[in-house]
């Protein structure tokens, strides 16, 4: 878990002005918040940025080697025969006809350096490298390669000359010697020294002469989960961007990975796209390319970056699209469609990670759906309208047209409702399902659909009528009552001027907002918060069931909004923010809006770490970076005393309910589950990791009112337990 490394509250005095790069971002973010509130304005805020090489007017479509390198011997992926086969498959599969163009070689393409310190290809794997590039170009495609910032240690030790200059490698290296990037490769270049820019120019000119069309610059800091500003690669990024412009060749530049959003203006001005999260691949945590939980993180992380992309701002890169290869992908067909829906709504680059020579029929159907590809290429990245476990994303295309995507992040079928007024209009006179190519007709006031577990639907809506701006009440951080170690700090980038910190890691550390509404009902609550990496709020309204709000982000200084429904009483209400066992984000403010008639989910999430823990389980609740609530319970079972009991599972009527169990195990283990003290039911499970949850869904009988559900295993260890979700049975 990373903590904030930049606190703008300290830049209050005259001798400590707020740094310009954060002032620029603060101003942009304020514009974005107004855009969020005034839905009539179309598109992301324009803050004077531009993609310097002017080639990335739309996100690219293609394929990359890296994903398969994580599950296969690299030599079987990174060789001339395979790359040619992938290029040919892109053409004859039909993908190329639908816009897929790029064939990108990740780490492993390179070999030794030439006499000027410029990296050449691996001659063993690619004996006819330039001929291979010509073949790819002849197929109508483009070629990409992978680089790291810095200069190689051998280039430095040999003090090789810089092409076309009087300078040598040792003339341009930063002193004292510093590693060149977040991976610790090579040495850092000092771009204030003569010859430094010329060295990068010589590299790009060489690659341009080969016909290279794309460069992924990896391990760029600030970012890559490395906050050490002694390894600041912004000058490297600027140098590569300048060199590309000087080369005269249109080369796409992508920056990777998990970039720090505090430096967004630098990424926007100097690159076509930036990775906003870590790798989507399992990389040994699972046997396949990816898994659902890694896709899920993109839903959380994208919110903070949603106003940062567009034709003049560059694109938010969500990493490889792991669809089209069936079981090898590691996600189901339903999850593949959901993944592509999110990538398309984000206008993210669509580059595949699987084997193009082995595409499934279903995969081809997904990837050649031109109506969905048009969403990705629209130049109108979506914003999240409603968050939580059933998020709604929308893109305003102008002229009354909208792309709307609804998602179900639960593992069981769930009804998802969107009120059109929350999107800014009154009625839909036309609704087209883009996955099924079906005209669904008009829908007045709202739209509802039961989605399968981890499912999505994607629509193009023709809207009429402008919805009135709902009444809203703003509660800044300074209005909250603080308990325990919770603190109020100055915040120059916060709308309220303050932020709440240290809201978690202990049940006594929380903040309460006292909120008044005129009538009982369901309202919308916007939460403006900030985080670097994944964190979770545990929210309690009027001592009702806890609400889990999982979030992620790229900055601990720039607030972003997410909105969830809350059920409030007439008059005064207590809304508590904290996290008893882990870290929540820092917090700017909340906004309560609506007329009390918002849709409310029928399911309830119960975090295991906040249940009643006994025996060894009582001491094992702790941090879990991939878990809901950012914590889980281990040491469950092995004896009759080590149990987890959910003591107050409340349902409205007696009957059978569906229960999602989010768990972790490596190998076979079992839960024994007892409801209201009745005979326990054994649920045998299997898994491959204690680091990442997976889900199963069972049915449980419950009675009206409060129920107890206990998890145990009296004779053997049970899986680790993340959470359960209780919902009425819903047929899909």
Q: What is the pLDDT of residues 504-524, one digit of tens each?
A: 999 999 999 999 999 999 999
Positive/negative CA dihedral, 330, 331, 336, 341: negative
Residue pLDDT, tens place only, 311-349? 999 999 999 999 999 999 999 999 999 999 999 999 999
pLDDT at 229: 63
* Share above pLDDT 90 across residues of the chain, in percent, rounded to a whole number: 88
Annotate 348-407 with three-state secondary structure.
CCEEECCCHHHCCHHHHHHHCCHHHHHHHCCCCCCEEEECCCCCEEEEEEECCEEEEEEE
Number of domains in the chain: 4
| Contact in structure between 355 and 329 (CB atoms under 8 Å) | no
Residue pLDDT, tens place only, 145-178? 999 999 999 999 999 999 999 999 999 999 999 9
Among 348, 377, 406, the domain-final residue is: 377
Tokens of 725: 């979700």
Q: In this structure, is residue 15 part of a structural domain?
A: no
Residue pLDDT, tens place only, 624-680? 989 999 999 999 999 999 999 999 999 999 999 999 999 999 999 999 999 999 999
- Asked if residue 212 and residue 162 are part of one domain, the reply reads yes
Using DSSP, state whether 562 is helix, strand or coil: strand
- Asked if residue 558 and residue 445 are part of one domain, the reply reads no
Residue pLDDT, tens place only, 476-503? 999 999 999 999 999 999 999 999 999 9
CA 72 to chain CA centroid, Å, is 25
Residue pLDDT, tens place only, 648-662? 999 999 999 999 999
In 3D, which of 632, 557, 630 has the Cα closest to residue 3? 557
pLDDT at 557: 94
Q: In this structure, is residue 33 part of a structural domain?
A: no
- Asked if residue 698 and residue 573 are part of one domain, the reply reads no
Tokens 């992380």 locate to 301
Q: Confidence class of residue 2 from pLDDT cuts 50, 70 and 90?
A: very low
Residue pLDDT, tens place only, 221-276? 998 876 556 789 999 999 999 999 999 999 999 999 999 999 999 999 999 999 99
- Domain containing 427: what range? 384-465
Among 559, 593, 627, the domain-final residue is: 593
pLDDT at 227: 59
In 3D, which of 419, 444, 443 has the Cα closest to residue 433? 443
pLDDT at 50: 41
| Spatial separation of the C-alpha atoms in residues 157 and 160, rounded to whole Å | 8
Inform me whether the pLDDT recorded for 450 exceeds 70.
Answer: yes
- Asked if residue 136 and residue 73 are part of one domain, the reply reads yes
- Asked if residue 669 and residue 650 are part of one domain, the reply reads yes
- Pairing mode, strands 102-104 and 61-64: parallel
Inform me whether the pLDDT recorded for 28 exceeds 70.
Answer: no
| CATH number of the domain within which 216 lies | 3.20.20.70
For the chain, the average pLDDT equals 92
pLDDT at 153: 97
| CATH number of the domain within which 621 lies | 2.60.120.260
Contact partners, residue 100, CB within 8 Å, separation at least 6? 61, 62, 63, 90, 350, 352, 367
pLDDT at 27: 45
- Asked if residue 432 and residue 503 are part of one domain, the reply reads no
Positive/negative CA dihedral, 634, 639, 644, 650: positive
- Asked if residue 629 and residue 573 are part of one domain, the reply reads no
Residue pLDDT, tens place only, 545-557? 999 999 999 999 9
| Contact in structure between 525 and 492 (CB atoms under 8 Å) | no
Among 407, 442, 465, the domain-final residue is: 465
Q: In this structure, is residue 633 part of a structural domain?
A: yes
| CATH number of the domain within which 460 lies | 2.60.40.1180
Q: In this structure, is residue 45 part of a structural domain?
A: no
Inform me whether the pLDDT recorded for 52 exceeds 50.
Answer: yes
Q: In this structure, is residue 9 part of a structural domain?
A: no
| Spatial separation of the C-alpha atoms in residues 239 and 230, rounded to whole Å | 18
| Spatial separation of the C-alpha atoms in residues 339 and 294, rounded to whole Å | 11
- Asked if residue 163 and residue 296 are part of one domain, the reply reads yes
- Asked if residue 210 and residue 63 are part of one domain, the reply reads yes
Mean pLDDT of 560-585: 97
Q: In this structure, is residue 171 part of a structural domain?
A: yes
- Asked if residue 452 and residue 497 are part of one domain, the reply reads no
- Asked if residue 231 and residue 164 are part of one domain, the reply reads yes
Q: In this structure, is residue 336 part of a structural domain?
A: yes
pLDDT at 259: 94
| Spatial separation of the C-alpha atoms in residues 701 and 678, rounded to whole Å | 10
Higher pLDDT, 36 or 59: 59
């Amino acid at each position: 878990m990373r903590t904030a490394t930049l606190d703008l509250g300290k830049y209050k005095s005259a001798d400590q002005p707020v740094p310009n790069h954060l002032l620029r971002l603060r101003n942009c973010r304020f514009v974005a918040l107004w855009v969020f509130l005034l839905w009539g304005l179309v598109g992301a805020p324009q803050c004077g940025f531009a993609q310097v090489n002017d080639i990335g007017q739309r996100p690219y479509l293609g394929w990359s080697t890296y994903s398969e390198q994580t599950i296969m011997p690299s030599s079987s992926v990174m060789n001339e025969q395979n790359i040619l086969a992938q290029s040919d498959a892109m053409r004859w599969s039909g993908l190329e006809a639908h816009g897929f163009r790029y064939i990108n070689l990740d780490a492993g393409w390179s070999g030794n350096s030439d006499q000027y310190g410029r990296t050449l290809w691996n001659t063993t794997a690619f004996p006819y490298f330039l001929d291979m590039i010509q073949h790819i170009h002849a197929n109508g495609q483009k070629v990409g390669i992978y680089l790291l910032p810095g200069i190689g240690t051998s280039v430095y030790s040999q003090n090789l000359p810089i092409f076309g200059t009087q300078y040598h490698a040792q003339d341009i290296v930063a002193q004292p010697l510093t590693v060149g990037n977040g991976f610790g490769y090579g040495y850092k270049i000092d771009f204030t020294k003569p010859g430094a820019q010329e060295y990068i120019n010589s590299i790009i000119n060489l690659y341009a002469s080969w016909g290279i069309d794309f460069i992924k610059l990896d391990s760029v800091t600030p970012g890559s989960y490395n906050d050490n500003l002694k390894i600041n690669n912004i000058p490297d990024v600027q140098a590569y961007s300048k060199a590309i412009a000087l080369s005269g060749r249109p080369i796409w530049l992508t920056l990777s990975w998990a970039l720090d959003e505090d430096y967004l203006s630098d990424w926007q001005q100097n690159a076509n796209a930036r990775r906003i999260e870590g790798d989507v691949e399992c990389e040994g945590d699972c046997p396949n390319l990816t898994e659902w939980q890694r896709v899920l993180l993109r839903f959380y992380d994208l919110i903070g970056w949603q106003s940062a992309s567009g034709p003049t701002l560059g694109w938010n890169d969500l990493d490889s699209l792991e669809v089209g290869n069936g079981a090898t992908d590691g996600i189901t067909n339903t999850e593949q469609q959901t993944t592509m829906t999110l990538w398309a709504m984000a206008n993210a680059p669509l580059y595949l990670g699987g084997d193009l020579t082995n595409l499934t029929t279903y995969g081809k159907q997904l990837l050649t759906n031109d109506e969905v590809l048009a969403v990705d290429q629209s130049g109108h990245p979506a914003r999240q309208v409603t968050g939580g476990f059933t998020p709604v994303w929308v893109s305003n295309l102008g002229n009354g047209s909208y792309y709307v995507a609804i998602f179900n992040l639960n593992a069981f079928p769930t009804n998802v409702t969107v009120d059109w007024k929350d999107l800014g209009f009154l009625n839909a006179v036309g609704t087209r399902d883009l996955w099924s190519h079906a005209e669904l007709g008009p829908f007045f006031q709202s739209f509802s659909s039961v989605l399968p577990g981890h499912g999505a639907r994607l629509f193009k809506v023709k809207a009429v009528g402008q919805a009135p701006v709902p009444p809203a009440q703003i509660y800044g951080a300074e209005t909250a009552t603080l308990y325990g170690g919770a603190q109020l700090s100055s915040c120059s980038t916060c709308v309220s001027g303050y932020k709440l910190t240290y809201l978690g890691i202990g049940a006594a550390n929380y903040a309460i907002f006292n909120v008044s509404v005129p009538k009982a009902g369901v309202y919308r609550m916007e939460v403006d918060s900030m985080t670097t990496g994944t964190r979770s709020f545990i929210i309690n309204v009027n001592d009702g069931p806890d609400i889990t709000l999982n979030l992620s982000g790229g900055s601990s200084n720039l607030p972003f909004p997410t909105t969830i429904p809350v059920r409030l009483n007439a008059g005064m209400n207590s809304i508590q923010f904290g996290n008893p066992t882990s870290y929540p984000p820092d917090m700017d403010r909340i906004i309560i809006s609506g007329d009390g008639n918002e849709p409310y989910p029928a399911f309830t999430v119960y975090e295991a770490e906040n249940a009643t823990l006994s025996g060894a389980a009582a001491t094992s609740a702790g941090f879990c970076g991939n878990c809901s609530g950012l914590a889980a319970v281990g040491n469950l079972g092995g004896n009759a005393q080590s149990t987890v009991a959910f003591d107050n599972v409340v349902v409205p009527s007696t009957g059978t309910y569906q229960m999602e169990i989010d768990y972790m195990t490596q190998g076979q283990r079992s839960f024994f589950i007892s409801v209201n003290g009745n005979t326990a039911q054994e649920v045998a499970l299997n898994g491959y990791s204690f680091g990442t949850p997976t889900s199963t869904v069972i049915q449980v009988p419950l009675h009206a009112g409060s129920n107890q559900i206990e998890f145990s295993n009296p004779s053997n260890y049970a899986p680790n337990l993340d959470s359960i979700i209780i919902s009425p049975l819903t047929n899909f």
